[in-house]
Amino acid sequence: MSAMRNVGVGGAVLAAVALAGCSSDEYPDGSTMASLADAGAVTVGIKYDQPLFGELDDAGVPQGFDVEVARMIAAELGIDEDGITWVEAVSGEREEMLSGGDADFIVATYTMSSERKEVVGFAGPYYVAGQSLLTRTDDASVASVTDLADKQVCSVDGSTAARTVEQLAPEANLVLFDDYGACLDALLAGQVDVLTTDDVILAGYAAEADGALRLVGGNFTSEPYGIGVALADDEFRLWINDVLEEAIDDGRWKDAWDSTAGAVLPDPQQPHLDRY
C-alpha cells in the first residue's frame, strides 16, 4: 500500500502530505502503523554478524537481505534511513526484545516456529532456509547430520538450530554461543568441528573463508523466515503481510534479493505468506 495509491482521486491536499512523508491518516487510529508514521521513526532488530542477511559493513552500515526487507517496510511508513534505529537482535533475545518493546519489528533470519508463535507474532515467510552443517574443508570426518556423535558442534543459544541438534544428534557435544560470529571464530581456530545453522548463513561464512570452509549434509529442516512483531499486534502483523505481498508481486522483493544474498546464492522460490 503506497501512500499515493490510497489518497484517491482529488486528494490533492492529502497527496501533498503523502509526498512529504507518510501521514498517519491512512492508518487506523491508534495502530502501530499510525504511531510509527507519525513519529517518522522506527526501531528495527537485525543481525550484525551474518553476511548476506544482516551484517554491519566497515562503516557500520547494515547490509543484507533482511536489512533490505526491513528498509522496505519502513519506507512504506514514510520512514527513510535517518528514521531507522538499528539494534542487534541475537537469536536468544528476539522474543524478549519484542515483548519488552525494545524493537518495533525484527528481521533477523527468524524462523516462524509454532513455539515462538505463542510468544511473538510473525508476518511472512519472506524466505525459506534449511539447516545445514559447516566444516573445515580439510576435515572429511563429517558428511551428514548422522556423523555428529562426539563432535564439538557449535550453534547459538535460543536458535532452532541448537534445538534440532539436541533432537537429531543427541550424542553430539553441543557448544552454544550468543552469536554465530563466535562459532565461526571457534571453527576457524579448530576449537569446534562443526558450525550448524541455516544454510544461507553458513553460505555467507563459506563465501568469505577463501575455501577454508565448506557446507556438508544438505538441508535437514525447513526454516521459514518471518518478521517478528509483538504478540498482540495482529493489525501490524497483517499489514506487514500486505506490504510483503505487494513487494513480491511488483519485484521489489526480488530486487532486494539480487542486490544482497543473490550475489552468492541461487534464486529463491517465491514464498507463500502464512496469514494465520
Would you tell me which residues interact with ligand GLU (CB under 6 A)? 91, 108-111, 156, 159-161, 197-198, 223
- Cα separation, 217 vs 219, in Å, equals 7
Based on CB atoms, which residue is closest to ligand GLU, 111 or 260? 111
User: At 97, is the secondary structure helix, strand, or coil?
Assistant: helix
Based on CB atoms, which residue is closest to ligand GLU, 24 or 50? 50
- Cα separation, 236 vs 270, in Å, equals 22
What is the nearest approach in angstroms of ligand GLU to the Cβ of residue 65? 13
- Cα separation, 113 vs 135, in Å, equals 26
What is the nearest approach in angstroms of ligand GLU to the Cβ of residue 223? 4
Are the C-beta atoms of residues 200 and 129 closer than 8 Å to each other?
A: yes
Tell me the C-alpha to C-alpha distance, in Å, between residue 40 and each of 28, 35, 80, 169: 16, 8, 8, 47
Are the C-beta atoms of residues 247 and 270 closer than 8 Å to each other?
A: no
109 backbone dihedrals φ, ψ, rounded to 5°:
40, 50
What is the nearest approach in angstroms of ligand GLU to the Cβ of residue 198? 5
Based on CB atoms, which residue is closest to ligand GLU, 63 or 91? 91
Based on CB atoms, which residue is closest to ligand GLU, 109 or 135? 109
What is the nearest approach in angstroms of ligand GLU to the Cβ of residue 94? 8
Are the C-beta atoms of residues 107 and 54 closer than 8 Å to each other?
A: yes
Q: For residue 127, what is the enclosing H or E element? A: strand 120-129
- Cα separation, 32 vs 4, in Å, equals 20
What is the nearest approach in angstroms of ligand GLU to the Cβ of residue 112? 9
What is the nearest approach in angstroms of ligand GLU to the Cβ of residue 34? 29
Are the C-beta atoms of residues 33 and 25 closer than 8 Å to each other?
A: no
Based on CB atoms, which residue is closest to ligand GLU, 108 or 175? 108
How buried is 228 (Cβ within 10 angstroms: 0-12 exposed, 13-18 middle, 19+ buried)? buried
Based on CB atoms, which residue is closest to ligand GLU, 78 or 217? 217
Strands (E), 130-257: 131-136, 152-156, 173-177, 194-198, 213-216, 223-230
What is the nearest approach in angstroms of ligand GLU to the Cβ of residue 225? 7
Based on CB atoms, which residue is closest to ligand GLU, 147 or 198? 198
